[in-house]
Structures are given as structure tokens and as C-alpha cells.
Amino acid sequence: MTDLKDAGVRLDLNFPAAPIAFPNFRSFVPASQRVASDSLRWTNRYRRILLAFDAAVVVSVMTLAHIVRFGLTQPSVNAGPIALPYTLISAAIVVFWLAALAGYGSRDARIVGHGVDEYKRVVGATVTLLGCLAMACLVFGIDISRGFFALAFPTGVFGLIFSRWMLRRWLTAQRNKGRYLFKVVVLGKAKDVKYVANQIQRKSGSGYRVVGVALTSGQGKPGYLAVNGQLIPVVANRDTVVSAVRQTRADAVIVAGSMKGGASYVQELGWELEESATQLILTTGLTNVAGPRIHSRPVEGLPLMHVELPQYTGARHVLKRTLDIAVSGLALLTLLPVLVLLGMLIRRIAPGRSFSARNVLGAAAKNS
């Protein structure tokens, strides 16, 4: 990192009697077989807390809007020949509202607890839901009370943002006690690594805890790196950082400064980390290797950029698989007459079958 200055801490590589050993590079454990890490447990727990608070706020807001607008009566609205009670409409809005908050990633562990992205996604999900409901009412001729909407949604946005702010204060207090932190390995030259580690240590509310460093330029010998009086183990060098991540169960790798090999090395590192679902975080000046898949997260004046690695799991996997099947099936149906014609021509001009089949080794089989 040529534009970063040294944190003013003397480089001290100590070699104690029992130094930190490099990871055993032969012991590869697939991500699917890894035991749930501490960060996975606390992020899942915090997401459940956020979901509980969001549900409480949305249900309370819809109940309040119904009571204020209609009292204790049970009015209904006509949707063509069907009369829909407002109780059912309120319940549907609750479900869609919570789904919109989830779809916008408002509970993503990378954005909660800092910055304004969390609040922006809450507002964006609410505005999108309101627009979709307005279009649905227009298309299906449902005349829902505008006063009901005008009371529910602004109050709901305020309640959601206030609850997120309160939970953020609680999360910051937990992080100041050393809990609810992401474990990271910092990769780079000693000077750059110490600068980044120093910036992270200055504020525990950043959400990171440095569990190891990977030094370049031949400095990746077993030992410790002293930063602000704290000894951080040297666990790898630039060539063994991926194995070290698996051994330390780190959640992310922070690339501190320019690397030998430049963008190509960082891209290859990102592809290797993708197999273990480990985040890749870059410092300023390295964002050109990631293109548009960037999420900014400033830490004590040091902008850290999260590279969005493609992860097709859960709903994303189902959506991608559905689109793949639908698009490929439509393409086959469109090309079916052409394929049949080509098959007939092949049979007329050449002996044998129109189609041939054989076994081909894939990449995994070739490398085994």
C-alpha cells in the first residue's frame, strides 16, 4: 500500500520458544464439512434478533394503523366479487414487508452495526413494497384506504429505523467487550499489515479481530508481529494464506496494499477463497481488481472494500437453477425444428447415428 504511512510501531518479529507453526497444507477441509464457526453462530443469532424486532415493529404498526383508522370494527374492501377484510390485508402486508426486508439484505451481517447502508435498505424495501401494493391495487381494482397506508408505512419506517439503532448500540457494546467480531487474516507487507491492524485495533466497534497475519517478501516465517504491544501470530505468507485461513477459521482476508502479481494474484485469491465462503476485503487502490462487486466499509479512516463473491446458496441457488432450466428449456424448444432438420440431413449424407455419446473427464477428475 504505497499511499499508507507506517503506524509508528516498531517492527518486531519475535521467535518464542514455541512459535506458531505454519498450517498443514495437506489437510483440506471442504467448506460444507467445516464446523460452524463462532462468527456463523453469532451472525445467525443476530439475524434472528433482527427478524424478531422487525416482526414486532411491523405487527405493532399494522395493528395500530387498523385501530386508529377503523377502531375495533372489522371493515372490508371489495376486490372484484370478493370482499377482503382489512385484517387479512394487514396480515398480508406484514408477510410481504418482512420478505422485502429480507430480499433487500437489510439483515446482512456485513452492513449491520455501522454505516447508513442498513438504514437505506430498510427504507428501500419499504418504498418498494408500497409501490408494488399501489400497482396491485390499481390493477385489481382494490380500493384500500389511503389513510391506512399513510399511517402505517411512515410509522413503520420510523419504528424499524429506531429499533435498528437501538440494536446497533447493543451490538457496539458487545463488540467493545470482544464479542460478535469477524476473525480476519491481514495479508501484505509488514508495514502495511501493521497499519491496517493498528487501525482495526483502535476501535473494536469496527467488527473485526485480527487472528493472524500473512507477510510477503519472504517475511512469512513462523513468529509474531508486534502491533501496539499485542503479539499477532504470523500464520502464513502470500502463497499459503488460503491454507492458513482454513486452519484459523478466519472469516475474511484483508489485502493490505499492493501485491506481487497485482490484480491477477488478488483475483486468483478471491477464487480460492470462494470455495470456503471466506470474504475478500481490499484496501484503497486495489478496487480496480473487483469491478462493480464492491461494498464499502470504512474503519477509522481506512476504507475497506468488500468484494462480493458469487454465492449461490439457499434462495439464490433455487432462483438461479430455475432460471437456468427455464432459459435452456425455452432455447431447446425454439431450436428443436432446426435440430431435427440437421439430424435428418446428417442421416442422409453420412452413415451411422445422428448423435454420439462418450464419457468426458471433468476438471475435478483431471486434478485428482
More confident residue, 311 or 78: 78
Q: Give the pLDDT mean for 163-192.
A: 89
Give the pLDDT band (50/70/90) at residue 222.
low
How many whole angstroms separate alpha carbon 233 and alpha carbon 256?
16
Give 351's DSSP letter. Answer: S
Using alpha carbons, select from 310, 216, 207 the residue that is nearest to residue 256: 216
- Burial class for 357, CB neighbours closer than 10 Å (0-12, 13-18, 19+): exposed
Separation of alpha carbons 232 and 279, rounded Å: 20
What phi, psi does 31 have (nearest 5°)?
-60, -35
For residue 310, give the 3-state DSSP assignment. coil
Distance in angstroms (rounded) separating the CA atoms of residues 195 and 79: 63
C-alpha cell at 132: 408494488
pLDDT surpassing 90 at residue 349: no
Domain residue ranges in the chain: 13-35+181-307, 39-176
Q: Is 177 helix (H, G, I), strand (E, B) or coil?
A: coil
Percentage of residues of the chain with pLDDT beyond 90: 20
Q: Are strands 279-283 and 208-215 parallel, antiparallel or unpaired?
A: unpaired
Residue 354 near residue 347 (C-beta atoms within 8 A): yes
User: In which region does residue 315 sit, left (phi positive, over 0), alpha (psi from -120 to 50) or beta (all else)?
Assistant: alpha
pLDDT band at 15 (very low <50, low <70, confident <90, very high): very low
Cβ pair 211, 183 in contact under 8 A: yes
CB 303 within 8 A of CB 284: yes
pLDDT confidence of residue 21? 38
More confident residue, 66 or 82: 66
- Give the pLDDT band of residue 9 (cuts 50, 70, 90): very low
Angle at 239 between CA 238 and CA 244, to 5 degrees: 85
The pLDDT assigned to 145 comes to: 82
**Count of H helices and E strands in the chain?**
9, 11
For residue 245, give Cα distances in angstroms to 23, 158, 192. 9, 41, 19
Note the pLDDT of residue 310: 54
Please state, in angstroms and rounded to a whole number, the distance separating the CA atoms of residues 267 and 273: 10
pLDDT digits (tens, 9 = 90+) for 245-277: 888 888 888 888 777 777 777 778 877 887 677
Q: DSSP letters of 3-29?
A: TPPP-S----EE--SSPPPPP-TT---
Residue position matching grid coordinates 468484494: 307
User: Any idea which fold 13-35+181-307 has?
Assistant: Rossmann fold (3.40.50)
**In the chain, what is the straight-line distance between the N-terminal and C-terminal CA atoms, in Å?**
38
DSSP states of 125-153? HHHHHHHHHHHHHHHHT----HHHHHHHH
